[in-house]
């Protein structure tokens, strides 16, 4: 009996930490420190993952098959060779797409609400600054 492929929809919704880790890895391999800095940068410093949160999330993402450790080791002259690099798996990419589509549906739903429609049409306070 063939084993059914895992369903990405079963993994969503993702927690903010997991979502941003996967988002950070969407462009390529990164190590823990680079992931943390990337997340802080693309959330304007609003989400700063603690080291334990980050590596515990990475541990569970590896166990769930969403990311994997890369065999690539940096040049010791350029980088700390103790660093471990991680990358998205195909399944992780599918989960990421499923989550982004879910967020799109939530956003579309929010835009249909009369109480929010006007406010969502205005530029955000961050955009005005």
Partner 1 sequence: MRPQPSPPWIVRLSVRIYRGLLRGTGPSHYFHAYGALTLQLFRECCLDAYRERGPLGVLSLWLPSFSDAIAQMVLEFLCQQQYTSQPRVSVGTVVSALALEWFSAPTDFVRSLMRPFMSHVWHPLTRELSRPLISASRLSSPTNMRFERQFLHWRGPHGWRSHRGRKPYERGIDLRAFQGMPALFLRSKARAAADIERVMKFHPLDVMLTQTIKAEAYRGKHLHFAADVKVDHVAPQAGLVIDVLLNPPEKLSERWHQNHPQSVRQEQLAQGTHDWTHCDITISVPANAQSIDFGLILHGAGQIWLANPQLEVREQDVMQPA
Interface residue list for partner 1 (CB under 8 A): 1-4, 6, 32-33, 36, 48, 50-56, 58-60, 63-65, 76-77, 80-84
Q: Which is nearer to partner 1, 7 or 117 (CB)?
A: 7
- Listed residue (64, 74, 63) closest to 33, CA to CA: 74
Say how far apart CA 129 and CA 76 lie, in whole Å.
42
Nearest approach, Cβ of residue 105 and partner 1 (Å)? 25
Q: Which is nearer to partner 1, 10 or 27 (CB)?
A: 10
Does residue 17 contact residue 53 with C-beta atoms inside 8 Å?
Answer: yes
Q: Which is nearer to partner 1, 60 or 117 (CB)?
A: 60
Torsion of CA 25, 29, 35, 37, to 10 degrees: -120
Nearest approach, Cβ of residue 54 and partner 1 (Å)? 7
């Amino acid at each position: 009996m063939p084993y059914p492929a895992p369903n990405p929809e079963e993994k969503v919704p993702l927690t903010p930490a997991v979502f941003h880790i996967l988002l950070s890895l969407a462009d390529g391999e990164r190590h823990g420190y680079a992931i943390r800095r990337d997340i802080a940068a693309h959330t304007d410093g609003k989400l700063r993952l603690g080291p334990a949160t980050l590596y515990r999330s990475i541990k569970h993402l590896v166990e769930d098959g969403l990311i994997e450790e890369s065999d690539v080791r940096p040049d010791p002259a350029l980088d700390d060779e103790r660093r471990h690099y991680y990358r998205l798996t195909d399944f992780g990419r599918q989960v990421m797409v499923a989550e982004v589509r879910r967020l799109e549906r939530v956003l579309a739903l929010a835009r249909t609400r009369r109480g929010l429609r006007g406010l969502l049409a205005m530029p955000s306070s961050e955009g005005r600054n």
